Amino acid sequence: MRTALVLGGSIAGLMAARVLSDHAERVVIVDADDLDTDGARPGVPQLAHLHVLLDMGGTQLQRWLPGLIGELVDDGAVLSDWDRMWQYLDGARKVSVSGRQLLGATRPFIESRVRRRVLARENVTVVRGRVDGLRFTGNRVSGAYYLPLGADRDGREELAGDLVVDATGRASRLGAWLEAAGWQAPPLERMRIDLGYATALFGRGTELPGVTTAQCLSSAPAAGQPPEDTAAMSEVEGGRWMVVLANYADRRPTRDPEEFLTRCGKLGAEPFQEVAARCEMLGEVVVHSVADSRRRDFRRLDRFPAGLVAVGDAVAAFNPVYGQGMASATLHASCLSAFLRSGESLQEPAWGYFRRVRVVVDAAWQLSTLGDLAQPHVTGPYPPGYRFASWYSERFLAATVTDPEVNQVFVDVVNMREHPRLLTRPSTVLRVAKALTGRRRAG
Ligand SMILES: Cc1cc2nc3c(=O)[nH]c(=O)nc-3n(C[C@H](O)[C@H](O)[C@H](O)COP(=O)(O)OP(=O)(O)OC[C@H]3O[C@@H](n4cnc5c(N)ncnc54)[C@H](O)[C@@H]3O)c2cc1C
């Protein structure tokens, strides 16, 4: 392949570019933002929020950029074993599990190091500009049109590519670009979640020795009751805590710092109470809203141009509470690698890629939407078998509090190391039943 064109240079675009640099003479990344920054960027407004890197995300980053995790840690990121991750459900601290790691660092910090490593590859370059359409040659995509920084439509330019990768995130315009050229847009499935996020940084002192990360979850609310706050916190570079509160609909947290501290103090989880009571808030509370979880199902199309794939949030963007985004993006890069290595022709639609990526998307979607559907304001779509899945998942979650084996399964699935089917494996179901029977007897 002569040129691979990657539209969007955030985490998914960078990882795709890394993979493509092994297969193309030249890889060109086009992004509307100035990528030469370690700070905020308008193209990715969620950069200011806590971004935990799931265990699978760490493994995949390390696969494509060997030594990266060590470099992040040397620069100040906090890599912790799971026993330093305190998890709570309905105010009860869960049993510890082992063998998994979590990286605590701000998202710009992680991304800037990934970017540095990818752009250090000789055949990868960046062009600054806003992509506004695809170029077609017959039945294949052969490039993209873009507006360089400051140019109007008369200044539109084009870039050629033998393979074009859409990595423009959840608001991707790929469907519109395809339709404009007479192709079908991939069907877009949306689940309205109406989520609100608030994040604040705190100075870390001597409080909470032995804790680097904490998470506070609640069971689904009873009928007529509002959902409790979900919260997560992590130690990040620079000796700071990053704390996030999330809730839905009219319970969304605001940017009021007093409200933030009060809500942290009311959580049934000691680490949040400690930070709210003892640590100094640094800067302002930042908020963000996520209207829906969404996925584009390319496999449901009967026709698709050759020379085009999509990665990252452009394929599927989930409720961020589950922290699956960056790990998914790295797995999509691995799917792209497997596709390119399979020898399937680039002169045909990349069905082999979309088949692989669908496995990753289905697994992440299954997990995150099961939790979302339990919220009273979420109205579907409900998948077949939802009532049983929801009944079982409540019991499964209750068993994660006391049973180390069940919690290990939960942690492995949540970290995308295992497929969600592990949750209903007969040995897991048996273990859940035993844990709950034991609890009833003890109670
Ligand atoms: C509040 C919040 C918290 C989150 N927390 C976590 C977490 O804890 N852990 C986790 O793993 N994930 C988390 N996520 C998800 C994560 O942010 C995304 O999954 C991830 O950023 C997706 O990367 P991406 O590269 O696909 O898209 P994006 O990061 O959205 O990047 C898209 C890129 O495309 C560029 N672009 C867009 N349109 C154009 C165009 N027309 N022309 C040129 N360039 C364009 C943008 O400038 C940007 O650089 C969170 C998300 C949110 C909203």
Nearest CA to ligand 1 atom 47: 43
How remote is the CA of residue 326 from the centroid of ligand 1, in Å? 8
> In whole angstroms, what is the distance from residue 85 CA to residue 210 CA?
9
30 lines ligand 1 (CB under 6 A): yes
Question: Stretch 94-105: mean pLDDT, rounded?
Answer: 89
CA distances from 2 to 28, 50, 249 (A): 11, 38, 49
Dihedrals phi, psi of 27, to nearest 5 degrees: -120, 125
186 lines ligand 1 (CB under 6 A): no
pLDDT of residue 439: 67
Mean per-residue pLDDT over the chain, rounded = 94
pLDDT of residue 126: 97
Residue 443: pLDDT above 70? no
pLDDT of residue 395: 92
pLDDT-above-70 percentage for the chain: 99
Query: How far from chain centre, in Å, is Cα 438?
Result: 36
How remote is the CA of residue 32 from the centroid of ligand 1, in Å? 13
DSSP 327-376: HHHHHHHHHHHHHHHTT--TTS--HHHHHHHHHHHHHHHHHHHHHHHTST
Residue 440: pLDDT above 70? no
329 lines ligand 1 (CB under 6 A): yes
How remote is the CA of residue 204 from the centroid of ligand 1, in Å? 28
In this predicted model, which residue has the larger pLDDT, 438 or 371? 371
323 lines ligand 1 (CB under 6 A): yes
Question: Stretch 397-414: mean pLDDT, rounded?
Answer: 94
How remote is the CA of residue 49 from the centroid of ligand 1, in Å? 11
pLDDT digits (tens, 9 = 90+) for 42-65: 899 999 999 999 999 999 999 999
Question: How many Cα neighbours within 13 Å face the side chain of 205?
Answer: 10
What domains are defined for the chain? 3-72+109-189+295-369 (3.50.50.60), 81-104+192-292 (3.30.9.40), 384-442 (no CATH)
How remote is the CA of residue 108 from the centroid of ligand 1, in Å? 11
> In whole angstroms, what is the distance from residue 29 CA to residue 196 CA?
31
How remote is the CA of residue 175 from the centroid of ligand 1, in Å? 18
pLDDT of residue 153: 82
pLDDT digits (tens, 9 = 90+) for 139-194: 999 999 999 988 888 899 999 999 999 999 999 999 999 999 999 999 999 999 99
312 lines ligand 1 (CB under 6 A): yes
pLDDT digits (tens, 9 = 90+) for 246-261: 999 899 999 999 999 9
227 lines ligand 1 (CB under 6 A): no
234 lines ligand 1 (CB under 6 A): no
Question: Stretch 319-328: mean pLDDT, rounded?
Answer: 94
420 lines ligand 1 (CB under 6 A): no
Question: Stretch 205-229: mean pLDDT, rounded?
Answer: 90
Q: Do 407 and 97 form a contact (C-beta atoms < 8 A)?
A: yes
pLDDT of residue 348: 96
pLDDT of residue 227: 87
Residue 438: pLDDT above 90? no
- Mutation test residue for ligand 1: of 46, 110, 159, the one with most atoms within 8 Å of CB: 46
Question: How many Cα neighbours within 13 Å face the side chain of 153?
Answer: 2
Residue whose C-alpha is closest to residue 53's, from 98, 6, 113, 1: 113
Question: Stretch 84-103: mean pLDDT, rounded?
Answer: 91
pLDDT of residue 442: 62
pLDDT digits (tens, 9 = 90+) for 351-388: 999 999 999 999 999 998 888 888 878 887 888 888 89
Q: How do strand 240-248 and strand 316-317 relate by DSSP bridges? A: unpaired
169 lines ligand 1 (CB under 6 A): yes
Question: Stretch 419-436: mean pLDDT, rounded?
Answer: 93
33 lines ligand 1 (CB under 6 A): yes
